[in-house]
A and B are shown apart, each in its own frame.
Chain A
Amino acid sequence: MRGKYLKIRWLWLASIGAIGSLLLLSECAKGPDALGNTIPDVVDFNFHVKPILSDRCFKCHGPDAQKREAGLRLDTKEGLFKALEKHKDQFVVVSGKPESSEMWRRLIHEDPDQLMPPPSSNLSLNEAEKTIIRRWIAQGAKYQKHWAFIVPQKSPLPKVKRKDWNDSPIDRWVLTKMKDLNLEPNDREEWPRLIRRVCLDLTGLPPTEVVMQKFKKDDSPANYRRLVDYLMKQPAFGERMAAHWLDVSRYADSHGYQDDGPRTMWPWRDWVIHAFNTNMPFDRFVSWQIAGDMLPNPNKEMLLATGFNRNHKITQEGGVIDEEYRIEYVTDRTNTFSKAFMGLTMECSKCHDHKYDPITQKEYYQLFSFFNSVPEKGLFGDISLVSLADPPNMRISNATVRDTLPFINKKPTDTAVVMIMQDMPQARPTFILKRGQYDAPSVEVQRGTPRSVLAFDKKFSNNRAGLAEWLFSPKHPLTARVFVNRMWMELFGTGIVKSSEDFGNQGELPTHPELLDWLAVDFQEHHWDVKRLIREIVLSSTYQQADAISKHKQEIDPENRYLSRGPRIRMSAEMIRDNWLATSGLLNQEVGGPSVKPYQPEGLWEDTNPGRGPLMSYKQDKKEKLYRRSLYTFWKRTAPPPFMLTFDAPMRDYCVPKRTRTNTPLQALNMLNDPQMLEAARWLAARLLKKTGGGELAVLSAFERILTREPESKELKQLFAYFQKRRKTLQEDPNRAEKMLQVGEVAQAKGVNPFDCAALSEVVQIIYNMDETITK
């Protein structure tokens, strides 16, 4: 009898145990998603609650007054804690009491007509998000202003145990955050590959033979510092920094729109390269571009800098309405100013109040009015006029270059007239345009800036010069953060704030907020010194880590947002092509000057041109112009260089501060059959054959020349076997080798065995097509 009872009692125990574990399992089955953000114990308004409210509620309960439902706004403190319109006794949020908060009741309501967000909006909250809201209210519903609108402060540096991660503030913040996710940093990258990475990051070019001889032997930190300083002194540094600035400033060599005639803006590009090379402080660099013509006694260089604001598209289509397109140009300047320097999507508030950020349509047109007084016309002249620079413009004569602007690489025969900014004596009145329509002005507005960012202080002068002062005032929360974040993105692939083009409510949150603020404040304290900022980042241990990815790290942090490994990203379009030219020795290092037209498949311009104007057919340049760096390639807006488009360069129709990074079959075809690459391969093969006499040594030095590291024995064996097999088969068909060596226009190297050369060039093509070659 008793045994039976024992059994039954155990039966009960087991089943209770089973049910308990079942519940436990279901709890943790929800588990952390990739980035380990389980539902946090302490909920922070800015980091956990605001992103949900912004994305799912602000559309109907946000700053846009016209579209606001039930008079309820959740983007301000008053709105959140206000009493309901219909029932004065009930409140949207009652801190500490979720059950009596109308917001919570509406989130979990059964009836589809009461449920928020309503099904018709296609928006919904998942369980985790609802729990976060509930826990926030329960924990007292503390409200904070948007993080990006609070002026950055330097917070005290955390202590870290590891000695080699203790001196740079960057390392200390990064290591602390890494520990939260129990990740360990990688050790330092092998020395040759680190040299390659820092050369590509600072000059856009792989290490030259000179650099390798000079720095390869000693991998000490001191020698690394000397390498960084050496690289920053090269003119290539200015070119590399200018390449990213051309995207931000939507630089192009043609007017765009319908007829897309040519324009000469290249002198302005030369100035940008010069500015970065002479380490012009960032505040002066930007102030000259915004208001160079309005600063006290502006010289020619300051006027040239204002070309930044005339880079936008200009129409030459006969029959357009002048005022409509003039308004388009001013709109473009306003949008570029807000996105390039403040990371704000103000273009949304051209037609209505911003739906997510506290920016009203009125404030948009207040900023708009700064740029609205240029004595320009929507349609200056149609294509037959072939106007290379619509007025107001500045002619650059040979004398000007000789005396004041020596950095412009202008040949006597080149015509150089550049569009610049200028304000009419009498400022044009600016009106709020209903729904952004050029012909529907309503209320007139004066010049001003968005209050939620920083009010326009009376002490600033009421023109673009004042606007520049406002932008760089110490009380401005965004300028330094946005630029520092973009430099971080150029070096690590992703910014500390992933959405580097949007710091507003809908933007992503910084993964290391204290680090971002520290860098921003430090940048301002050192008078906006760009080279010093980059030097700080590049010298950090975070940057010098090896880029190997363990299975564990791949699962926890696939995008390397917590920097537990060195940056490993595909090179930009410019870097890939420049890498071919540099490693093969064909690169023409000339700096600045008019844009050039390298190889391009024929018929691209002819198929789609409007049937008139000088840019109808593509006339490829000759000799040394074919081997200039990619940032000098002629940019026709309606038919940009196909190579650049395939590797994710933007169209340059408007400001695009961040490029995507894709992986497509067209890129593969491009890498396999581009004549520029085939020619570089054969030229490098010929050079190496002369230097090494052929054999395995030639294959080895080709590998090392391109990847700056010794090939593993397996790799060398594989490539050398391929080289020998190909040389044998090519000997059977002599004219085949001959034809291979005719690709491209550079003369064939003399005194080299054609079969060796052809076989080695195929080996070089293979190395050029390795994933490692186009990854930095």
Chain B
Amino acid sequence: MQKEILESKLNINRRAFFSKMSVGIGSLALGSLLIPELFKGGEEDAATLIPGLSQFAPKAKRIIYLFQSGAPSQLETFDYKPKLREMFGKELPGSIRQGQRLTGMTSGQTSFPIAPSYINFKQYGQNGTWVSDFFPHIGKIADDICVIRTMNTEAINHDPAITFFQTGNQQSGRPSMGAWMSYGLGSENENLPAFMVLTSRGKGNSQGLYAHLWGSGFLDSVHQGVMLRGGKNPVLYLKDPEGMSQSERRQMLDQIAELNQNSYEKIGDPETMARIQQYEMAYRMQTSVPELMDLKDETDNTVKLYGPDCLVPGTYASNCLLARRLAERGVRFVQLYHQGWDQHGNLPNEMGGQAKDVDQASAALITDLKQRGMLEDTLVIWGGEFGRTVFCQGDFKADNYGRDHHPRCFSIWMAGGGIKPGITYGETDDFSYNVVRDSVPVHDFQATIMHLMGIDHEKLIFKHQGRRYRLTDISGKLVPGILM
């Protein structure tokens, strides 16, 4: 008897207990709604940048960098110094030089005669921007560009100077600016790499280019710059072997994918699935790159705008036209190099040839972007790795002279992507030797570019060998003066 009573009590309790359990569970569910993080795991705090996304609303979506390798002289491009004409051949005052570090080529020189610019200048645009007669077409677009006359760098030789501009450090080994952008922002178009490189060479005295200028450094090698070259194989190994049709390549890829799928089911290595994706991406590039390179759909007016060279593969003009086509297809960072600006001698004629290569095409690129409504969010940069000295290097005549390397002040111009148009920023002394007002060191230049792309340059970091590396390394301030 006792057992039954106990039994029944137990049952009641058990039945009641279970009915109540449902209520308990219900309240628990309600509770979880109020504490979302509870079951989702902690979010990475927002402070550090999540790679692949800009930090705040960007003004520029993509960058086209027209790098004039060899360093065009600022005295014959944008830094007009009329007073120098009267000081033709006079010695450069020691006070101006202040023990400047000279390259081996001129440190042996005893006299430093001033060589005024052989070419004269005109004023263009509403604010009267000074542009030399080497660049009539760029003059016409003066209202769209911002000329910066007070860039300065620490390196006095080509290799360290270009490496410093492209990677933020004079010695090689760090990722290039394009690789940082690809790492930081990813690509707008999955069928094309985020960072592409095009090179061309003028007839002037040229310096070499090195693979580490567009390398990925310690970042993942998927971010390295992909070279786009004229001719039938624009990207290395892009074209299928002679006579293989696209459908045949598709069949082969399907076979490979099936075998890989089988090995994945057997062994379970996720890397195998990732490789299948990469083969699909490669297949897509095999169609997207040729379509990009085929200039048949460009109108005659466009060819006239850029100049006839734009149809000749490997020239600067054709690279500019390709740069616009790449920008249209959402490539994040297009890096152009035009070699041949290293005029240690025979400057007037060599520089004339170089200017003829780049003047019309550079201006055409800006006009073309503008009329397609793309200049607003495309940042275009034109410039070299340092300036050239006001004193002459080697033998000296009015119409023929050379200039040595000069890191203390030089000129570049930028356009679009949130840059204030139509102004000249910064002032140099009468000898274009030192910066007088608004200096722009290289790291500040890089910090400002990243700001325009919606990235806080102190927050885009990569931890390598225990150190948090940044493009702007340990310095870099914003240059508000050139922002819209």
A interface residue numbers (CB < 8 A to B): 6, 10-11, 13-15, 17-19, 21-22, 25-26, 29-31, 54-55, 119, 122, 124, 126-127, 257-260, 315, 317-322, 328, 345, 348, 355-356, 379, 439, 499, 501-502, 504-507, 547-551, 554, 558, 568, 570, 601, 603, 607-611, 637-640, 642, 645-646, 648, 651, 653-654, 660, 662-670, 672-674, 678, 712, 714-715, 718-719, 722, 733, 735-736, 739-740, 743, 762, 765-767, 769-772, 775
Q: Is the CB of B101 within 8 A of A321?
A: yes
Q: Which chain B residues (253-273) contact chain A, with CB distance < 8 Å?
A: 255-256, 258-260, 262-263, 266-272
Q: How far is the CB of B70 from chain A (nearest CB, A)?
A: 10
Task: Give Cα A569–Cα B256 distance, bound, in whole angstroms.
Answer: 19
Is B274 an interface residue, CB under 8 A from the partner? yes
Take A22-B31, A673-B238 as given contacts and tell me if A770 and B267 are in contact as well, using a CB distance cutoff of 8 Å: no
- Stretch binding the partner chain, chosen from B89-97, B207-215, B371-379, B423-431: B207-215
Task: Give Cα A745–Cα B282 distance, bound, in whole angstroms.
Answer: 27
Residue of B nearest to A356 (CB): B466
B274 proximity list for chain A (CB < 8 A): 663
Q: Is the CB of A568 within 8 A of B269?
A: yes
List 23 interface pairs A-B (beta carbons < 8 Å), by A numbering.
A22-B28, A25-B38, A31-B41, A258-B158, A318-B104, A319-B405, A502-B466, A549-B268, A551-B268, A610-B206, A611-B339, A645-B221, A646-B221, A646-B236, A660-B220, A665-B285, A666-B235, A667-B278, A672-B237, A722-B251, A740-B243, A769-B252, A771-B272
Q: Is the CB of B252 within 8 A of A766?
A: yes
Q: Mark B34-74, 1 if CB is under 8 A from A, else 0.
A: 01001101100101100000000000000000000000000
Q: Is the CB of B207 within 8 A of A258?
A: yes
Q: Which chain B residues (337-382) contact chain A, with CB distance < 8 Å?
A: 339
Q: Is the CB of B268 within 8 A of A554?
A: yes
Q: Is the CB of A15 within 8 A of B24?
A: yes
Residue of B nearest to A735 (CB): B243
Kindly identify which residue among A21, A122, A319, A501 contacts B459, using a CB–CB cutoff of 8 Å: A122
A122 proximity list for chain B (CB < 8 A): 47-48, 458-459, 461
Residue of B nearest to A653 (CB): B172
A345 proximity list for chain B (CB < 8 A): 465-467
Is B1 an interface residue, CB under 8 A from the partner? no
A654 proximity list for chain B (CB < 8 A): 172-173
Q: Is the CB of B263 within 8 A of A315?
A: no
Q: How far is the CB of B45 from chain A (nearest CB, A)?
A: 7
Q: How far is the CB of A158 from chain B (nearest CB, A)?
A: 30
Q: Is the CB of B35 within 8 A of A715?
A: no
Q: Is the CB of B206 within 8 A of A611?
A: yes
Take A18-B24, A317-B158, A665-B281 as given contacts and tell me if A260 and B208 are in contact as well, using a CB distance cutoff of 8 Å: yes
A642 proximity list for chain B (CB < 8 A): 236
Task: Give Cα A549–Cα B264 distance, bound, in whole angstroms.
Answer: 10
Knowing that A15-B27, A765-B252 touch, tell me 16 more A-B residue pairs with CB under 8 angstroms.
Answer: A18-B24, A19-B31, A258-B159, A317-B157, A320-B103, A328-B171, A499-B466, A601-B237, A607-B229, A610-B207, A611-B205, A651-B215, A663-B275, A665-B281, A736-B243, A772-B263
Task: Give Cα A127–Cα B229 distance, bound, in whole angstroms.
Answer: 52
Kindly identify which residue among A319, A715, A762 contacts B259, using a CB–CB cutoff of 8 Å: A715
A766 proximity list for chain B (CB < 8 A): 252, 255-256, 259
Q: How far is the CB of B277 from chain A (nearest CB, A)?
A: 8
Q: Is the CB of B259 within 8 A of A669?
A: no
Q: Is the CB of A771 within 8 A of B262?
A: no
A320 proximity list for chain B (CB < 8 A): 103-104, 157
Q: How far is the CB of A676 from chain B (nearest CB, A)?
A: 11
Q: Which of B20, B224, B236 has the most CB of A within 10 A?
A: B236
Q: Mark B452-464, 1 if CB is under 8 A from A, else 0.
A: 0000001101000
Task: Give Cα A472–Cα B269 distance, bound, in whole angstroms.
Answer: 41
Q: Which of A259, A318, A646, A772 has the most CB of B within 10 A?
A: A772
Q: Which of A356, A379, A668, A712 has the most CB of B within 10 A?
A: A668
Take A10-B16, A607-B229, A654-B173 as given contacts and tell me if A672 and B240 are in contact as well, using a CB distance cutoff of 8 Å: yes
Is B23 an interface residue, CB under 8 A from the partner? yes
A-B contact count (CB 8 A): 263
Q: Is the CB of A722 within 8 A of B104?
A: no
Task: Give Cα A259–Cα B205 distance, bound, in whole angstroms.
Answer: 13
Q: Is the CB of A319 within 8 A of B278?
A: no
Task: Give Cα A662–Cα B276 distance, bound, in whole angstroms.
Answer: 14
Take A608-B210, A669-B282, A771-B272 as given contacts and tell me if A740 and B17 are in contact as well, using a CB distance cutoff of 8 Å: no
Q: Is the CB of A669 within 8 A of B199?
A: no
Q: Which of A379, A654, A669 has the most CB of B within 10 A?
A: A669
Q: Is the CB of B38 within 8 A of A18?
A: no
Q: Which chain B residues (169-225) contact chain A, with CB distance < 8 Å?
A: 171-173, 193, 199, 201, 205-212, 215, 220-222, 224
Q: How far is the CB of A356 from chain B (nearest CB, A)?
A: 6
Task: Give Cα A645–Cα B20 distance, bound, in whole angstroms.
Answer: 67
B207 proximity list for chain A (CB < 8 A): 258, 610-611
Q: Is the CB of A14 within 8 A of B20?
A: yes
Q: Is the CB of A771 within 8 A of B208?
A: no
Q: Is the CB of B255 within 8 A of A719?
A: yes
Kindly identify which residue among B16, B238, B270, B465 contacts A499, using a CB–CB cutoff of 8 Å: B465
Task: Give Cα A565–Cα B239 distance, bound, in whole angstroms.
Answer: 39
Q: Is the CB of B220 within 8 A of A554?
A: no
Q: Which of B159, B206, B222 has the most CB of A within 10 A?
A: B159
Task: Give Cα A475–Cα B255 distance, bound, in whole angstroms.
Answer: 58
Take A611-B205, A712-B262 as given contacts and tell me if A668 and B282 are in contact as well, using a CB distance cutoff of 8 Å: yes
Q: Is the CB of B211 within 8 A of A645?
A: yes
In the A-B complex, list the 4 residue pairs whose CB atoms are closest, starting with the nearest.
A506-B466, A610-B208, A668-B282, A319-B105
Q: Is the CB of B48 within 8 A of A505?
A: no
A504 proximity list for chain B (CB < 8 A): 466
Task: Give Cα A30–Cα B35 distance, bound, in whole angstroms.
Answer: 13
Residue of A nearest to B226 (CB): A666
Q: How far is the CB of A193 from chain B (nearest CB, A)?
A: 10
Q: How far is the CB of A726 from chain B (nearest CB, A)?
A: 8
Is B241 an interface residue, CB under 8 A from the partner? yes
Q: Which of B226, B278, B404 has the most CB of A within 10 A?
A: B278
A260 proximity list for chain B (CB < 8 A): 208, 210
Q: How far is the CB of B354 from chain A (nearest CB, A)?
A: 14
Q: How far is the CB of B261 from chain A (nearest CB, A)?
A: 10
Q: Is the CB of B211 within 8 A of A640?
A: yes
Task: Give Cα A714–Cα B224 distance, bound, in whole angstroms.
Answer: 39
Q: How far is the CB of B340 from chain A (nearest CB, A)?
A: 9
Is B242 an interface residue, CB under 8 A from the partner? yes
Q: Is the CB of B16 within 8 A of A664?
A: no
Q: How far is the CB of B290 from chain A (nearest CB, A)?
A: 13
Take A549-B267, A666-B236, A771-B272 as given contacts and tell me if A718 and B259 are in contact as well, using a CB distance cutoff of 8 Å: yes
Q: Mark B415-441, 1 if CB is under 8 A from A, else 0.
A: 000000000000000000000000000
A765 proximity list for chain B (CB < 8 A): 252
Q: Is the CB of A505 within 8 A of B466?
A: yes
Kindly identify which residue among B241, B249, B263, B279 contacts A740, using a CB–CB cutoff of 8 Å: B241
Q: Is the CB of B236 within 8 A of A548?
A: no
Take A10-B20, A554-B270, A610-B206 as given contacts and tell me if A601 and B236 are in contact as well, using a CB distance cutoff of 8 Å: yes
